[in-house]
Amino acid sequence: MTAPSITYGHGLLEDSWATLDDYTLTAGGSSGSYGITTGYDLYIAITSFVGDSYVKNDTNFALSTTLFPYIMFRYYTTGSAKAKIVAEFSDASTQTVLSETASTGKWTVATVALTAAKTLDHLSFNCCDATGIAYYDFFLVFKGTFTFPQYTTVTYNMQNRYSNTEVPSRLGRRKAWMGANETIVTIEGDVDSQRDGWKRPVGTSSKTDKIAAEVLNEIHHKASSEAWQWIKTDRGQFKAVLEDLVINESDNQNFLFAYQAVFGEFRLSNASNESLTDRLGLETL
């Protein structure tokens, strides 16, 4: 079993691409288009290839890679095209965070460490090498990923909704499917004072943790400004919010606390438009 993990500490998130007007397309001589899909993904399409096409933000991000040292992104490609992402820093140096890669027909998520002690100003999202489309679901520049040092259970709840119509003289109600709730993941366990990892070491957060499992309190506290976190377990990986956090302390416990963290799947679009494989990130789990 692989321990579940969750991201924390947003520096910059682009998910809906609602500010696409703040990005500019450089076509590289190729013919094609770019825009946002109904599922809120950025697409860059090449129908006649001459050179690589890319979309880059116009205004500097001015984001410290010391405070936010990681970038996570999700992409896939169609046709013969490849995806590529390049970071540009304030000193004009660059870092290729995703080299030219095809991920034909499947969403791939990756996390890359940004060059240390830089100021991130630009990101360019490329469609490379040939005709086809490069899709980008999101990018997140963030502080780190917290792996649960201990857990007792990970519970998945995927609930359908039905109307139950009562019919006279009929044995059994009539059922009509009315939709489904988002996936709910509940992680439960103990916070053991003898187990390393419940406090983040200096350098992985803006301050030294004062209490065990403080990262969970922080995620909960910052929900108003951080739209979602990326959760990963043995059964799936997806955008999620921390809906409920319970910490229980008792004077007769052999450990510090018992905890229960309830994460709800975050959706911008209808999950019915995706396959289960895409929805739960099973291809690259």
pLDDT tens, position by position, 82-101: 999 999 999 999 999 999 99
Measured CA to CA, the distance from residue 146 to residue 200 in angstroms comes to 8
Tens of pLDDT along 200-227?
876 655 567 888 899 999 999 999 999 9
Query: 20 in the Ramachandran plot: left (φ > 0), alpha (ψ -120 to 50) or beta?
Result: alpha
pLDDT score for 228: 98
What's the token pair of residue 161?
């909704």
CATH 2.40.30-classified regions of the chain? 147-284
pLDDT of res. 253: 66
Q: Which residues contact 114 (CB under 8 A, 6 or more apart)?
A: 65, 68, 69, 70, 71, 87, 95, 97, 120, 141
Please state, for a pLDDT cut of 90, what percent of the chain lies above it. 87
Where are the domain boundaries for CATH 2.60.120.200 in the chain? 5-145
Question: What is the model's pTM?
Answer: 0.94
Give, in words, the CATH class of 147-284. Answer: mainly beta
C-alpha–C-alpha distance, residues 5 and 231, integer Å: 6
Please provide residue 127's backbone torsions phi and psi, each rounded to the nearest 5 degrees.
Answer: -115, 120
User: Cα dist. 84→41, 71, 153 in Å?
Assistant: 16, 14, 38
CATH architecture of the region 5-145: Sandwich (2.60)
What is the C-alpha to C-alpha distance for residues 39 and 17, in angstroms, rounded to an integer?
11
Helical (H) or strand (E) element with 134? strand 132-147
| Low-confidence stretches of the chain (pLDDT beneath 50) | none
Q: Which two tokens stand for residue 109?
A: 């998520």
